[in-house]
Structures are given as C-alpha cells and as structure tokens.
Amino acid sequence: MTVKEAIKNDNVTYRDFFTFLFENDIGCWNDVNSTDVIHDYINSMMREGYLVSHILAAMERQRYASDDWHMALDNSMNMPEVIQSKEALANALSLSDEQLAVKYEPHEIFNSPVKHSRNEAR
C-alpha cells in the first residue's frame, strides 16, 4: 500500500499514519505543531511584547481530538487549524505526488529519498 492509499484505508489509524510519516521524515513538518509547541510559542511571543492572543482564541474555538495543528510558527498572524484526519495531515505536510507514492510500511523505518526538514521543536 502507498501513503496515498493509507489515507483512504480505514484500517490505518491517524496516529499510526502520523508516526510513519514523522519517523520517516516525509513531508514539510515546519507547518505541523503540537498544542504544547504552540502554547510555548504564544508564551514566548507575549514575553517579547507581541499580541498573539488571537492564536489561543482560535485554538479554543476549535474542538479537537488530536493534539496536532497546522500552523507555521514563522508569522504571528498565522491562525492554527486542528488536524483531525489523515487527509488533513497530508495536506498540512504538503505531500508531493512522489511522497504520496512512497510505500506505506508502518513497522519499518527507512531512509526516504523524498524528505523535507522537520520542525526541530517537536
């Protein structure tokens, strides 16, 4: 099965899909952050005097079962979107056609030829 097929496969859980992509460094992880990382970012920006309360308000307005958010931390005007599905995760990671064609092997970590730098804060 490919990564693209895993998105549609109900037997593949969100967390297993996330873990496979993360451990194999597939996708652009700079735009995917956890609740804790975003809270740390908010606190840091507030200490520096930036008005970022809108980010926390946006998070509080969204119901979420996941701890994962689509939000780049390079611009304090960005608004977080909760990631609640494998498809939303794939979109947040900006997976290319080549990355979607990678063989999905959740129990094996391999060196993917198609990588992007992942967020070191995770």
Question: Domain locations in the chain?
Answer: 3-100
Burial of 110 (0-12, 13-18, 19+ CB in 10 A): exposed
pTM over cut 0.85 = no
* Neighbour tally for 106: CB within 10 Å: 16
CA–CA separation, 60 and 105 (whole Å): 35
Q: Give the pLDDT of the chain (122 residues) as one tens digit per residue.
A: 999 999 999 999 999 999 999 999 999 999 999 999 999 999 999 999 999 999 999 999 987 777 899 999 988 788 999 999 999 999 999 999 999 999 999 875 555 444 444 444 43
